[in-house]
Structure 1
């Protein structure tokens, strides 16, 4: 078999030989993940109105499928589009689409269309779309669909196409407001205003006429991209060269080898503790040189000897005041993580605070122009935070290990983003080498209390040993205090002494937690946090845990924690959405409002308390029936391929709440009722949702049909979420029974 794979489209070519009616058209079922990667497409002649590569779904109502086209080249083809995609989550990254012929009205090189019935988004980042004849370069069509997801169009070269290079005239920012674009190079544009960092200029390809679209020396694309991208930086460029070479990523699909950073090679692991006269060749000397430079600066390592090489510190390190990259990956013997759910990196550099130094790297409060990047290092024994950032912007921490270092003491905090600092990117997407292991901190694993917020934590392993199973708990996994608009996605958070995630303070609003596993390992083994999976307190408000108001995507798994799955404490704020998650086997009720334990419905809503003590729904009937029954046929249900699950459940219930207000009802499946509160449900599997409006007395009856999940009848329960964001506790637990509701034709009794 293949021990390793280099993703490079120069290695694999599909040549259609200019034969007529040649194209690749794929249609997938709901929730499919499809990736087209590392291929050169050439010589295709698509049928009239068709694309060379088309990825679409079968018009289901899921908003979880993901289609990606990355590290591909489209050269010398003919078609209406080169790439056409329609799905909920779409990625077009690190591609070259050039010198193609576009045919037909409205033709274009890359056409993205939001999916009917789903919350859609697209990431179009780090591509070169150039010199295509007969149509536009890139067009994104939201098709009048509402979406709360974030679309990113960043760091591309879109140049020299016959039509508009980037056309957003069909992107409705009213319905899909979260559009992030910028740091692109364009020729012509339509439907949007240029932003700082955008360039309308010749990208200066090496030889476009000869098919070489690498930026030439002096190109404005080189070392001019953004300091951060919402969906992270790719680890490699189109042809597998390293990203990032200079201080900033290059725009387009290629990364040039132009290094614009001053540099220092660390050759000694010694540290005399003197900031005035540091040991020659030491890390301390490197940081002193970086501060003196005043220019973008890279610190690399070439310490002789075998791994690990240990830098023992006993005094505070010099503050970092400039644009500094500290790259531990350059030390001989380094290899990056390759796993999901564990950490198999071989990191060769340990910075040890020895229980005496407050931090390894510190950006002080006055360093407004600082930007710190740290990669491929281990940290232990720091009494404040191993990395503490109080100012600057665009910070990036990737592929590091904090704690779980043999024969060292713990860090107090591993990472702290505080003060006036802008957001930091901690971890990464689609790049396992960017995963950070954060373990054993006596205080907090990741502490975010910067007033500006805006950090991203993605794909980190928090509270585990390197095997992804052993105990490596922090005091608290992630603590967000008076910090808004942070994103936590795809993290594993377990074994904390207190909460897995603690969101606190009225300034903590707009935080988004999605696709995290909190309280178990990646393989669903117990790794519970000592208190709640997620706790919210002291006025924390307007946060989203799981799905947004209009979608079903983003489920967190929150299980086996010592207290509630999600606990909005008596001091917690309002408008905290908790929807679409998988919450089970916790020490208290799945979603808990106010004091610990189940809270009864209020006689009137809104109540006085966290989430206004939103009332929960009362379910009255749950009838399971075959998919081909009359009520199932009315839904257009497609038979399931899962044995025992090919059925539907008709769920009936009611809600008493604030009159004339709208509420989202989410229905969940659980094998049993809550063992802690027998009349409450276990929201183990989200089944479906509907929206109701209460009448003048505050009453709303509802009925919806949801898919069967298991061969077991099991139980169902529901939550209610006010249109303003207040989610209730999980409501009554109702056993599913076999049966069929009356045919709607005879429902009124008149025959």
Structure 2
């Protein structure tokens, strides 16, 4: 092939002496700058080549009249004018090989005075190959020596390139800049559809294999592939920025494939993302977002991942899950010293909605730094977009967070642990300065299940530190702040938990307790269930948790070891719902003589404080060496000597730690306020009988004249006891004061502990305390109910009035105090909507006391503090919020952690498949009505009313105006009674069956004593007449056995004055199997209104039962199939339901 210019000069472009097989569909470009000449002996493939010269004279290349040698071998030899006619000669001169030349050819001349390799390579079509294609551009770049740039000009606007096979490996330094595509306005619009680029083969392969080093990949959308989007396997110092990986061009819809990776890195010094919005990568909808690998044995080290959205949509508010991990060092033998995040806001990664947010795995993945990120929240740091786990660490010497505010990670809203440190390789890891379980302000709950977990031989890791800036805020989590150890696993050893706030807000004073209720044994500030040894818990503030402050439970499995040698000293532990420190069985563990028992911390006996007396002579501050007062004042007349005893293991040495709080009394050996002073008495030695006495001096802090002291004992191995009983310490005075005249015992009264309470909108449930004063010798009851002035206001209206439909859940019932009980709590679920509505108030009122009088205040005002400044996206679209609302709407309680995790996963397991999500939300929603817990509480209440009072009449215009029988129970009746039967019941937790049975019996007995029932059923009725009327109301023709069983509740009585028998008979009818079947669809439709809409079927926005009639008719027509009838779907997608929570 010859190129001949107008001046007769000729260049041999290529020559194939001797003929050969036909060559088809070859695309060639000739360029002096090309790095490769046309091959002389191998097959030719499409590409850019340097002209060649074969003039050895052995072959007759070109017969006349073709130009004769000599030929040039460079295009640049043309020195004459290029004007004129150019000729391209293609000659076949082999005798016996009469080849055919087909196709066409074109000739383009470009005059360019710039240096070689400086011209961008242009992609100007979406073809798979050939001139102007993306494939050809990569081929050309590889052939050139030195760095190249590929720009795009494929028409205008979004374009999709679909390679027909794997793209060439990038072997030279190359910048691929798709932001040059016309129409680019900040988001990538050039899409690479990797459907045909092949699966993993021979290690990691990617749609783009960036192996030349010093390359930049910018502004592409890469999706639908079966391998990696970008693989960097051989040379480092690359930059990957501004791409959408795994999504469509909008960044809102997943276009990923399972078991695929986003960016695979096996080299050093690469940057994924950057500190500007333009540099941000969106990496979502696949298996692993960014993974550091070792397929080619080059350590993936010193890499930087910053400023990206990983696992969310482009807005950072909605999940598009990476199913395994957002960022991972999963491939052995590890990837050390990489940084995820940074200390500027632009460096912050949003890593949410993934299987695991950050997965630091394998021993050599040491030195990983994770800082400044939002992990498990939305882009604002205020809402949950849950990872399954926030960070999982199975490697040594990583740092999560730091001691500067800028280094803080917000690790909140995750389904299980915020941080999980696991396995024997997890040693020397440092977790400092983070918020775990709160929003970005540190004042509002955004719960993980656990804040931090350390399990499976995790050893010598540190949570917190010695300086205030190292403090983690570990609060608001659903089960526990920190979990150390686990059943059926190896033992965690010598971990340090120091200097954290656990259960408080960032100020240390606000209530953000971990756990949902002291009812759950593992709810605690710190819980150690099993297999933990020599861990230290020191200098933390642990308060307001809904369970114990520190809980060491009995091992759940016989093969497990209890937590042992767990040192719990110098902490500020106060105002938790359970004990401050709780060992073994829940509640105070009594001391035993010589302390031979075993269990968590060997069930170490606690000391006994016996007296506080003035010292025999004044002491100077330097004499108080046995006690290190935190807030001392000069020793004076109010100084005391504290005396105590300890009985424990004979001939052993212990340290007694004491704590002083300015409280009048303590509850369950725990102070109600922060300790103001503390100290220790070392060297307390027991004799052969296990007895020891100890004393220490105590002086009141400045301005304090009385309070309480409690203490613990810690043996030489570090086993710390529970707290002792509190000793009241009034200030000593030189002159005795006269005995005051006794004050008459006040009349027993019941009242709220305060007239006003405030709560953060995202707290979950707010606990309101009701107290008894005066004599505590008798039992009593008092009713309570919430109320507000919101009326029919829309939920979006900012009126200052909270609404039971939108802002909190109607809470009403009866408190029953036993003799000796002095306080109880009422839990009111708070709804965390997305409206910017300002501060709102509602009321809680006590009424109808029996056995006691109402004190003051008997009405309390609860203020909900809004956590939005602008109205945001509707949170009900978040799976965890959707599930939690169903717990409070249908079961009247906060979710148990395992239930929340299970039902949330049911929805999130769909990934971004919207059809799957919609169906799962319908089925999850219906599951609450169908659940054992609701069927045995709420549905039973509906049947009680049906059996007792029959039906009400309702008007409907569906199919023409008519009257119809409708359920007689109304919303507030239903809520009160359902909450009563369900009190303390969580199916499959504890002795729930017995609790439920006790509740049913008490409810039935109380129901038949209400004035409405006694008015309807005279005690003069015979048992037969009584039971017949109940079955008539129920619309049931009972079997003889069922009818006789209900009548037999009265024995041989001829009337129905036996109240207990009335309750039992009514319950027999309400639980009749025929009634359960007949009433099922009616109750199911009723709950669409009572549960979802929080109103009666004929309340506004309805005026009658037309809607109820429509859905009941449709559900019956589909034989109760709620999916086919689209009933649940209609209600959970209705504006009325959705607008309870947001726009």
**Deviation at 1:484?**
1.2
The aligned counterpart of 2:370 is 397
The aligned counterpart of 1:169 is none
Q: For residues 590 and 413 of structure 2, what CA distance do their matches in structure 1 show?
A: 38
More strand by share: 1
Bigger mean CA deviation after superposition, 469-478 or 635-644: 635-644
The aligned counterpart of 1:730 is 723
**Deviation at 1:397?**
0.6
2:706 corresponds to which of 709, 713, 732: 713
Q: For residues 318 and 330 of structure 1, what CA distance do their matches in structure 2 show?
A: 13
The aligned counterpart of 2:323 is 357
The aligned counterpart of 1:526 is 511
**Deviation at 1:675?**
5.1
Q: For residues 422 and 508 of structure 1, what CA distance do their matches in structure 2 show?
A: 14
Q: State whether residues 413 and 441 of structure 1, in contact with CA within 8 Å, keep that contact through their aligned partners in structure 2.
A: yes
Q: For residues 604 and 318 of structure 1, what CA distance do their matches in structure 2 show?
A: 58
Runs of at least 5 residues in structure 2 that lack an aligned partner in the other structure: 1-211, 231-239, 247-260, 294-298, 342-346, 465-470, 516-522, 556-561, 736-1143
Q: For residues 727 and 598 of structure 2, what CA distance do their matches in structure 1 show?
A: 28
**Deviation at 1:471?**
1.7
User: Measured at CA, do residues 648 and 353 of structure 1 come closer, stay the same or move farther in structure 2, by a change above 3 Å?
Assistant: same
**Deviation at 1:711?**
1.1
The aligned counterpart of 1:268 is 219
The aligned counterpart of 2:391 is 415
Higher relative contact order (CA 8 A, sep 6+): 1
The aligned counterpart of 1:180 is none
Q: State whether residues 399 and 430 of structure 2, in contact with CA within 8 Å, keep that contact through their aligned partners in structure 1.
A: yes
Residue 646 of structure 2 corresponds to residue 669 of structure 1: no
Residue 291 of structure 2 corresponds to residue 319 of structure 1: yes
Q: State whether residues 263 and 299 of structure 1, in contact with CA within 8 Å, keep that contact through their aligned partners in structure 2.
A: no
The aligned counterpart of 2:339 is 373
The aligned counterpart of 1:382 is 353
**Deviation at 1:567?**
0.6
Q: Secondary structure at the match of 2:229?
A: coil
The aligned counterpart of 1:473 is 447
The aligned counterpart of 1:574 is 564
User: Measured at CA, do residues 527 and 350 of structure 1 come closer, stay the same or move farther in structure 2, by a change above 3 Å?
Assistant: same
1:648 corresponds to which of 636, 639, 660: 639
The aligned counterpart of 2:861 is none
The aligned counterpart of 2:537 is 545
Q: For residues 410 and 366 of structure 1, what CA distance do their matches in structure 2 show?
A: 27
Q: State whether residues 462 and 494 of structure 1, in contact with CA within 8 Å, keep that contact through their aligned partners in structure 2.
A: yes
Q: Secondary structure at the match of 2:533?
A: coil
Q: Secondary structure at the match of 1:616?
A: coil
User: Measured at CA, do residues 275 and 291 of structure 1 come closer, stay the same or move farther in structure 2, by a change above 3 Å?
Assistant: farther
**Deviation at 1:443?**
1.0
The aligned counterpart of 2:405 is 432
Q: For residues 741 and 650 of structure 1, what CA distance do their matches in structure 2 show?
A: 15
Q: State whether residues 244 and 281 of structure 2, in contact with CA within 8 Å, keep that contact through their aligned partners in structure 1.
A: no
Q: State whether residues 340 and 369 of structure 2, in contact with CA within 8 Å, keep that contact through their aligned partners in structure 1.
A: yes
**Deviation at 1:537?**
1.6
Q: Deviations over 1:190-210 (max 9, x none)?
A: xxxxxxxxxxxxxxxxxxxxx
How many equivalent pairs are there? Answer: 452
User: Which residues of 2 match residues 205-354 of structure 1 at below 5 A?
Assistant: 265=216, 267-268=218-219, 270-272=221-223, 274=225, 276=227, 278=229, 282=243, 291-292=265-266, 294-301=267-274, 305=278, 310-317=282-289, 319-321=291-293, 322-325=299-302, 327=304, 354=320
The aligned counterpart of 2:997 is none
**Deviation at 1:473?**
1.1
Q: For residues 589 and 315 of structure 1, what CA distance do their matches in structure 2 show?
A: 43
Residue 426 of structure 2 corresponds to residue 453 of structure 1: yes
**Deviation at 1:682?**
7.6
Q: For residues 354 and 629 of structure 2, what CA distance do their matches in structure 1 show?
A: 58
Q: State whether residues 311 and 350 of structure 1, in contact with CA within 8 Å, keep that contact through their aligned partners in structure 2.
A: no
Residue 541 of structure 2 corresponds to residue 588 of structure 1: no
User: Measured at CA, do residues 643 and 630 of structure 1 come closer, stay the same or move farther in structure 2, by a change above 3 Å?
Assistant: closer
Q: Deviations over 1:14-68 (max 9, x none)?
A: xxxxxxxxxxxxxxxxxxxxxxxxxxxxxxxxxxxxxxxxxxxxxxxxxxxxxxx
Q: For residues 306 and 228 of structure 2, what CA distance do their matches in structure 1 show?
A: 27
**Deviation at 1:623?**
3.5
Q: For residues 565 and 602 of structure 2, what CA distance do their matches in structure 1 show?
A: 8
User: Measured at CA, do residues 263 and 449 of structure 1 come closer, stay the same or move farther in structure 2, by a change above 3 Å?
Assistant: farther
The aligned counterpart of 2:691 is 699
1:499 corresponds to which of 449, 472, 480: 480
Q: Deviations over 1:262-296 (max 9, x none)?
A: 766563374425364637853869x988635x334
Q: State whether residues 665 and 719 of structure 1, in contact with CA within 8 Å, keep that contact through their aligned partners in structure 2.
A: yes
Q: Secondary structure at the match of 2:602?
A: helix
Larger-Rg structure: 2
Q: Secondary structure at the match of 2:289?
A: coil
Q: For residues 598 and 216 of structure 2, what CA distance do their matches in structure 1 show?
A: 60
**Deviation at 1:317?**
3.3
Runs of at least 5 residues in structure 1 that lack an aligned partner in the other structure: 1-260, 333-347, 547-554, 743-751
Q: Secondary structure at the match of 1:433?
A: helix
Q: State whether residues 630 and 678 of structure 2, in contact with CA within 8 Å, keep that contact through their aligned partners in structure 1.
A: no
Q: Secondary structure at the match of 1:386?
A: strand
Q: For residues 530 and 629 of structure 2, what CA distance do their matches in structure 1 show?
A: 47
Q: Secondary structure at the match of 2:545?
A: coil
Q: For residues 332 and 283 of structure 2, what CA distance do their matches in structure 1 show?
A: 27
**Deviation at 1:696?**
1.5
Q: For residues 567 and 228 of structure 2, what CA distance do their matches in structure 1 show?
A: 54
Q: For residues 374 and 594 of structure 2, what CA distance do their matches in structure 1 show?
A: 51
Q: Give the TM-score, by structure 1 length.
A: 0.55
Q: For residues 214 and 386 of structure 2, what CA distance do their matches in structure 1 show?
A: 31
Q: State whether residues 353 and 386 of structure 2, in contact with CA within 8 Å, keep that contact through their aligned partners in structure 1.
A: yes
Q: For residues 731 and 328 of structure 2, what CA distance do their matches in structure 1 show?
A: 63
Residue 509 of structure 2 corresponds to residue 535 of structure 1: no
The aligned counterpart of 2:543 is 559
**Deviation at 1:608?**
1.1
Q: Secondary structure at the match of 1:578?
A: strand
2:618 corresponds to which of 602, 620, 630: 630
Q: Deviations over 1:122-159 (max 9, x none)?
A: xxxxxxxxxxxxxxxxxxxxxxxxxxxxxxxxxxxxxx
Q: Give the TM-score, by structure 2 length.
A: 0.37
Q: For residues 308 and 351 of structure 2, what CA distance do their matches in structure 1 show?
A: 18
**Deviation at 1:632?**
4.3
Q: For residues 350 and 304 of structure 1, what CA distance do their matches in structure 2 show?
A: 12
Q: State whether residues 681 and 733 of structure 1, in contact with CA within 8 Å, keep that contact through their aligned partners in structure 2.
A: no
Q: For residues 703 and 324 of structure 1, what CA distance do their matches in structure 2 show?
A: 57
User: Measured at CA, do residues 677 and 661 of structure 1 come closer, stay the same or move farther in structure 2, by a change above 3 Å?
Assistant: same
**Deviation at 1:319?**
2.9
Q: State whether residues 299 and 324 of structure 1, in contact with CA within 8 Å, keep that contact through their aligned partners in structure 2.
A: no
Q: Deviations over 1:674-715 (max 9, x none)?
A: 754269898834521112111121111011113423514001
Q: State whether residues 303 and 309 of structure 1, in contact with CA within 8 Å, keep that contact through their aligned partners in structure 2.
A: no
User: Measured at CA, do residues 299 and 739 of structure 1 come closer, stay the same or move farther in structure 2, by a change above 3 Å?
Assistant: same
The aligned counterpart of 1:463 is 437
Q: For residues 679 and 440 of structure 1, what CA distance do their matches in structure 2 show?
A: 30
User: Measured at CA, do residues 600 and 271 of structure 1 come closer, stay the same or move farther in structure 2, by a change above 3 Å?
Assistant: farther
The aligned counterpart of 1:5 is none
Q: For residues 446 and 607 of structure 2, what CA distance do their matches in structure 1 show?
A: 39
Q: For residues 648 and 264 of structure 1, what CA distance do their matches in structure 2 show?
A: 74
Bigger mean CA deviation after superposition, 312-321 or 387-396: 312-321
Q: For residues 277 and 365 of structure 1, what CA distance do their matches in structure 2 show?
A: 14
